[in-house]
Structures are given as C-alpha cells and as structure tokens.
Amino acid sequence: MNMDWSWRALVRLLLQALAIVLPIAFYLRTYDSCMIKITFLQLGTLAALTVWAVGVLEEGRLELPSRALPVLGPAVLLLAWNALRFAFAEHRWAVLNGFATQECFLLAVILALAVFSRRDLRQAVGVILGSWAVVVLYGFLQCLGLDPFVWKGAFGTRVFSTMGNPNFLASYLLVCAPLALAWALDDELPRRLRGAVGAVALLSCAVLGWTGSAWEGIFFVAIMALFAGLSFFVLPERKRAAAIGLAALCAVASLLCSGRGPAAEGRPQHRDYDLSSQAKFLPKTWKGTLALNLSQPLLGSGPGSYWVRYPAFRTPEVILFEHKHNTETDHPENELLEQWTEGGLVSLGLWLWLFGALLLQGWRRLLGRDAGREDPVCTLGLFTALAAALLAMLLSSSSRYVMPGWLMYFVAGLLGVLACAESGPAAPVLAAPLPFGGGARRLLMLPVLAAALGLGWYCVRCFRSDIRHNVAIYHSKEGSWDKALQEYERVVPGSPAYVMSQYFAGNVLQDRADPGDLDRAVAQYQRVRALAPDYVNVHYQEGSALRKLGRKEEAIARFEAQAALDPVWDAPWRQLKELYSETGQPERAEAAARKEESAKEQWERNAP
C-alpha cells in the first residue's frame, strides 16, 4: 500500500490529530484544566495552515473543489471580517483569545473543504469516534466514582469526563451520537466494529443523561427523532427498522439516566442548569445582550469582546440569580446573539449564510435533487450531527469553547465536503496560478515559516502563563505576596488569564500594603480598566485603594461606577454613604443609605 506524503495528506493528518487530541486532553497544573486544549488547537491549526500555505506556494497555484463555493465563500468572508474587526477593535489584548479561537474554528471548515475528499470521510469520522469512545468510558468511570484525578466530584453528581464541564460534555456527546449511529449502520465496516460502536453509543446516552444538562437532554431526544425520521426516507428498507430502533433505544437510555448516576449518593447536586433555572437566567441575559447589540447594531465590538462589553448591560436580575458579585458572563448562550454582538449584522449574516448553505447542501444530498448518491449513511450521520450542533449553539455557550466548538465546525466542514462532492474526482472551480515565479515563491516561504514559529512560541508562552497564574493564586492564598507578584508579572499579555492576573496583582498589592503598594495597586487597577473597562469588581477595588490613600473624590467616582454596574450590592452604597458624609454631601449620603438598605434587602430576599 502506497502512503500519500503530499502536503494535502499532511493537512488532513493534522486536522485528524486535532480531532483525537482536543476531546481527550486536559492538564491539572494550569488554572484552566482545558488550557491544554486551547494550546493544541492553536498549535495544530497553525501547523495545518502553514503546511497549506507552503504547499500552495510550492505548487504555484490555488485549487478549490468545484462545488464548495456556497460554503467556502461565507466561511472565508467571515474569517476576513473577524480579522478586520479585530484590527480596529478596542481592548485587543483582552479579546485576543476569543478572536483566535473563532478563527481556528472557521479554518477547520475551510481547510477541511480544501483538502478532504469524499473517500477520506469514513476515516475522519472514525478518528472522531475513536476519541469519543475514550471520553465516554472515562465519563462512565466518573459516574461509578472511580475518577483517579483530583478534580473528582468537582460538579457534584454531574459527570464531565475530559471536558472539564458537564454542559460541554453533553453538547459533545449530542454531536457525536448521530455519527456513532451512522457507523453502527454502515455495511462497509466489520460487523464486530459496528456492534462495539453501537454498544458505546448506548453507554454514551447514559453518560449524557448523567451530565444533568437539561437542554442537551431535550435536544438529544429531538435529534434521535430526526435521525429516525430521516432514516425512513434515506436508508434502504432493510436498514430502516434497525436505524429507528437504535435511535429509539438511545433516546430511552438517555431519559432513564437523566439525573443522578449510580455513584451519586453523598455528593451534592448542582441545579444551576436545570430548566427552571435556565428559564429565569437566559431571558434576562438575552435582554441585556439585545440592549448591547442595539447600541452597536451594524459592526459590533469585535470578535471575542462579548465578556468585555456585556457588564455595562447586565441586568440586576442576573446578578441576583447568580447570587455573586464577582462573576462575569462570558457568553450569552446563544450563538446568533453573540455573532451580532461581536461582528454586528455583517457577522450574523455571514454566519447564517455559512450554516444555511451547509444545511441546504446536506438536505439536497439527503432528500433533494442530489439524493440517491453515494454514502447515504455517512450523509445522514453528518447532517444530523450538524443539526445537533446548531441546536446546542442556540441555548448554550458550548460552541465558543475549544471542545465541543471545534468539533462542531469540523463536522460542518466534513458535511460540506460530502454535500459538495462530485460523483467522480472533484474538479477545481479555481486553479489560479500565483502571480509570481518560483524564486519569489520560495522566498515567501521564509516569512511564512518564521511567522508560524513565532506564533507557535507565543502559544506555548500563553500555556506556561496559565501555569504561572495558577501558582500565583496558590502563593496569594498562602500570603506569600512577593512570590505571587513575581508570577503574576510573568503572565504574557493576551493569554486567557492575563486580565485576571493584572486584577489579582492589584489585590495582592492592596492586601500587602507596604509603602507605595496602594499607589501601585491603583495603577494596576487602571491598567485592568484599560484592558477591560468593567472587569468584575475592579471599580470597587480601585475605590477602596483610593479611599485608603485619602483621594476621596476619585474614590467616589469609582464606587459610583461600581454601583451603576451592580446596584444590588450594598457595599459600594455603604462606601458612598460614608464618603458623601465625609465630603459634606448629606443629601447624597442619605440617598446612598437608602440604596444600601434596598440592595441588602433584595439580596437577602433572593438568597438561594
């Protein structure tokens, strides 16, 4: 058997390596146990993009598959629009990670369309299901209480496996389930393999139920119904009963296992994502997000910027529901709203174009004018998996995190490959020669490789920064202020923990309170506000430091800013009451006292 060592084969290999590594990898020495997923995503995408660029330069021409433009067009335009908005966005260091993640997701679609062919798809789906089996088995061990790692029981009775979050695990299993069912029905695979996949699919349904994620459980039943319904029209008659029966069995298994697993006794249950909680939380969050979007409807505020801009529009009801003053809402749990927030109506339109084109092409392949072509089982699995991904995108934030977000976009790319494939070898719609000769092309390879190496090293430094951030928190808790500050200062700008590190450094300086520390703390908080103007309690902390320094008018301005963001927190009103009295403003002091009592009363009334 001759191995394909072309650059296209290498790009395919890199994408499939990501499909293996991203679901499985976690690392418990970083602040975020899934920071390793972010790093692998960045490095893997960077490597695949570099190989693609070098390959195109080597061949001297750009080739694209014949029927992929309806999908490639919006994907490339959205990629470029995100880059343009990032270049002109405020607070770029704060939003860099979110921007890079979204670009990596879109590149998964674009590169899959560029290098995969119809004959590669069965192998790609097999790779996805190989890592899926590992995730399912580890989740089952967690449910049995056999987790060997220190994060055991981090979510009480809820299973989270390698995802580090039960809701992400539920969305991941939701997307993978149709692929597993398609493999279990694929006659081209060995019978034992199909049986093993079917058995693991049933186990994955139980694990999904044990995540305790309400919306994904409902979506799973809907997706199984969709799979069964489409099977009746798409599959040969001899397969229909098996497909419908397997889908029904999976739905029943998920419903029976919803809630508490076999090792749940004695562990707390987390109800933050049950239906009643979500019914209270989501409408209020969407209300604030809609107000944000209407303030910047056309262009948005730049990719990755939602968590920076939203605090100024968050409603008091959301704060009371969460019953915390120092939390941030990273995502609105609705991809349509978030696309609108970050890229305006332009981004929303391109995103709808991209996934609308994918659904239309897939539908035609299944039931429309292109129906009856090869691989009906594979098409059914990929189409239903994309439908599952889109459902999850509408009522969760899972599509914004490396896993399962990257998988959702990769599956979209694979469906595009199949739906846009010709019956024979794909003919290029574009085989444009590059406008420069071989010598110039070889010279261009040098800056491409240099840029890739530099960006790769930066990604590694961001990963190490997350370890340092974690170590700094440990030193802070131990009261080792000097060691904590040393670690915080070494966190790389733009890394996911960078804004938090700058904020925590200010807190450490204020707690240590050596000569000059309060002035340094104020400067530190001002640095945080330049990165993210309303980051958690930065106004309150800066106001506290300013008051200790005797800078009362400046302190008043900071406490007023905090009270405007969080009017149901009594502490800023209490500080303002005292400062207004000290600065000869009795009427304002009296009004602040009333606000303090009102905030305290609301907080106690809404205690969980």
The predicted pLDDT at position 280 comes to 79
The predicted pLDDT at position 41 comes to 98
Q: By CB neighbour count within 10 A (0-12 exposed, 13-18 middle, 19+ buried), where does 224 fall?
A: buried
Cis peptide before 404 (omega within 30 of 0): yes
Structure confidence by residue, pLDDT tens digits, 545-590 = 999 999 999 999 999 999 999 999 999 999 999 999 999 999 999 9
Q: Which residues of the chain have pLDDT under 50?
A: 1, 423-428
The predicted pLDDT at position 118 comes to 86
DSSP state of 270: P
Amino acid at position 214, single letter:
A
The predicted pLDDT at position 547 comes to 97
| Residue 351 contacts residue 335 (beta carbons within 8 Å) | yes
The predicted pLDDT at position 260 comes to 59
The predicted pLDDT at position 70 comes to 86
